[in-house]
Amino acid sequence: MFYRQMETRKWQELDQAHYLHPFTDHKALREIGSRVAVRGEGVHVWDTEGRKIIDGLSGLGCVNIGYGRPELVAAASAQMSDLSFCQSFFNTTHPAAVLLAEKLVKLTPEGLNHVFFQCSGSEANETAVRAIRRYWDLQGQPGKKLIIAREYAYHGSTHLAASLSGLEPMHHAGGDVPMPVVHRIKTAYPYREKPAAMPDDEFGRLAASWLEDKILELGPENVAAFFAEPAQSAGGSIVPPMSYWPAIQDICRKYDVLLALDEVVMGFGRTGKWFGSFHYGITPDLMQIGKGLTSGYLPLSACLMSDRVADVLIDKGGEWAHGYTYSGHPSCCAVALANIEVIESEGLIENAADTLIPHFEARLAEFTDHPLMGDVRSVGLMAGLELVADRATGEAFDGALRVGQHCSAEGLSRGLAFRANGDTMALMPPLVMTVGQMDEMFAIVRAALDATARHLGMA
């Protein structure tokens, strides 16, 4: 392969000279140099130094069926040979987009019968906002423009998606973010927000009441929608009590506020069900999906709309002047269909629910008494290990110590990629991971935590 023609340092020099990475301190990167990944197979990735690394993050929560699947390569090749590109403007369609839309309607919660395709989760959320605003205009309620989102949310990096997101560093990256149309509430974060003596189910209802309080503060006649992830990934693997979502849905219906559910990370088996909606019993008005839709092999996302929303856009709206050059790209849609076929034919979601998730939860429980551990939380195959300076009080580390980053580096040096969301260490393994590979992953997690504790003098 072409990448073997240069040494790692040469690749790093070219990288530093020209390639701007997402969410990166580029000055710091110049000091250490990029890791140059060159090959993936199953749950492993190799770099130019020959290191074999367990991908404990499924890429970024997307490579659910693992790397190197020939079925997806074949699907892309066949579609590119037949029809490499087809725009969806000017009354044109093509089979791959039609078949994928039909399939997604069958897999998702009842009533989501209309699909709009994009390339990224950010774009799917942008589409959802455009649809929501258009819907209320057509319903004769143009005053319903405000959107409520949560602290620690991540909905993407475009201007409006970054505004929906509740991660403070994103709001300092330029562009007058967040936009004033977005209003924020606290999230259902039991470790940080739940009173010690309060039962989980009671806290779930309390956290849901924060939405009702905000709707009443803003005026129901002004609130268009509530945007949220079923469980929050980039914000620190925050998992709500099971009582939270039924209460949220009741509040949205009570005040006629649309519910837009961001399933970009939680979809396609992460919870042991097809979507987080099924895990929590949610019936959204709009659902945004991506990542696991193609297992990251090609960029594709979708915004699914309920009949309630889409019928108004169709019957009353005339031309909806919104879309993208690559909406419903044939090759991306063909790969998504092949990806879904792999998930179904190999029973990956059933295996996750029956075997992997119980083992994952049991192994996570072994970390609760670690000297760095404040909280261990998970839903399905997504976990957060929150590291704290004081286990008794939950006092966080000084951010300048970059404890999470240090722990992540300790893991990578031992052959595991896992992510630091602040000082919460995130794990999102692929659905094709075996129990043995999971045990190997957790052995490295233990070693990385122990090394970090020694580094801090807390072993």
Q: What are 291-312's pLDDT values in tens digits?
A: 999 999 999 999 999 999 999 9
DSSP states of 375-418 = EEEEETTEEEEEE-SBTTTTBPPPGGG-HHHHHHHHHHHTTEE-
Rounded Cα gap, residues 452 and 15, in angstroms = 29
What does the block give as tokens for 418? Answer: 């896992």
pLDDT confidence of residue 174: 79
Average pLDDT over residues 349-368: 98
Tokens at 351, concatenated: 């295996």
Does one domain contain both 241 and 373?
A: no
Same domain, 266 and 297: yes
Taking phi over 0 as left and psi of -120 to 50 as alpha, with beta for the rest, 449 belongs to alpha
For 218-238, b where at least 16 C-beta lie within 10 A, e where not — what string?
eeeeebbbbbbbbbbbbbbbb
Q: What is the pLDDT of residues 164-174, one digit of tens each?
A: 999 998 998 87
DSSP assignment of 303-345 equals EEE-HHHHHHHHHH--------TTTT-HHHHHHHHHHHHHHHH
Assess whether 92 and 238 both reside in one domain.
Answer: yes
Q: What 8-state DSSP symbol labels residue 176?
A: S
Q: Please write down the long-range contacts of 164-172, taking CB distance under 8 Å and 24 or more positions apart.
A: 164/125, 164/129, 164/227, 166/235, 167/234, 167/235
pLDDT band for position 2 (cuts 50, 70, 90): low
Give the mean model confidence (pLDDT) for residues 206-220.
98
- pLDDT score, position 4: 58
Q: Please name the residue ranges forming H helices in 83-141.
A: 95-107, 121-138
Neighbouring-strand partners of residue 44: 41, 54
Confidence check: pLDDT of 276 > 70: yes
- Residue 329 shares a structural domain with residue 356: no
- What's the number of domains the chain is made of? 2
| Mean pLDDT computed over 242-271 | 98
Q: Are residues 339 and 365 in the same domain?
A: no
Share of the chain above pLDDT 90, in %: 94
- pLDDT tens column, 309-356: 999 999 999 999 999 999 999 999 999 999 999 999 999 999 999 999
Whether 388 is covered by a domain: the verdict is yes
Q: Taking the alpha carbons of 12, 17, 18, 23 in that order, is the dihedral positive or negative?
A: positive
Tell me how far apart the alpha carbons of residues 147 and 132 are, in angstroms, rounded to a whole number.
10
Across the chain, mean pLDDT equals 96
Provide the pLDDT for residue 173: 83
Q: Say yes or no: 336 and 430 in one domain.
A: no
Distance of alpha carbon 131 from its chain centroid, rounded? 21
One domain, residues 208 and 82: yes
DSSP letter (8 states) at residue 4: G
Q: Is 81 exposed, middle or buried (0-12, 13-18, 19+ CB in 10 A)?
A: exposed
Same domain assignment for residues 104 and 51: no
Residue 26 maps to a domain: no
- Is there a single domain that holds both residue 61 and residue 170? no
User: What CA–CA distance (Å, rounded) separates 339 from 60?
Assistant: 17
Residue at 164 is within a domain? yes
Provide the residue range defining the domain that includes 277.
Answer: 71-345
**Per-residue tokens: 51:** 């290191």
Which residues share a beta bridge with 118?
301
- Provide the whole-model pTM: 0.96
Do 269 and 374 lie in one domain? The reply is no
Pairing of strands 301-305, 114-118: antiparallel
Contact 83, 329 (CB under 8 A): no
pLDDT at 230 over 70: yes
Give the CATH number for residue 363: 3.90.1150.10
CB 278 within 8 A of CB 304: no
Domain boundary among 330, 345, 360: 345
Q: Is 151 part of any domain?
A: yes
Residue 110 and residue 218 in one domain: yes
The predicted structure's pLDDT at residue 297: 98
- Shared domain for 56 and 192, answered yes or no, is no
Note whether residue 1 is domain-resident. no
Q: How confident is the model at residue 21 (pLDDT cuts 50, 70, 90)?
A: very high
Band the pLDDT of 1: cuts 50, 70, 90: low
pLDDT at residue 209 is higher than 80: yes
Q: Which of 294, 324, 345 is the last residue of a domain?
A: 345
Residue range 74-112, pLDDT digits in tens:
999 999 999 999 999 999 999 999 999 999 999 999 999
The answer to whether position 14 is within a domain reads no
Q: Confidence band (pLDDT; 50, 70, 90) for 9?
A: very high
Report pLDDT for 6: 79
Residue 28 lies in a domain: no
Residue 364 has pLDDT above 80, yes or no: yes
| CATH number assigned to the domain comprising residue 263 | 3.40.640.10
Domain end point (choices 288, 311, 345): 345
Kindly state the average pLDDT of the residues 378-382: 98
Q: Is residue 136 part of a domain?
A: yes
25-80 pLDDT per residue, tens: 899 989 889 999 999 999 999 999 999 999 999 999 999 999 999 999 999 999 99
pLDDT at 221 over 90: yes
pLDDT tier for residue 375 given thresholds of 50, 70 and 90: very high
pLDDT band, residue 255 (cuts 50/70/90):
very high
State whether residue 258 is helix, strand or coil: strand
pLDDT at 23: 87
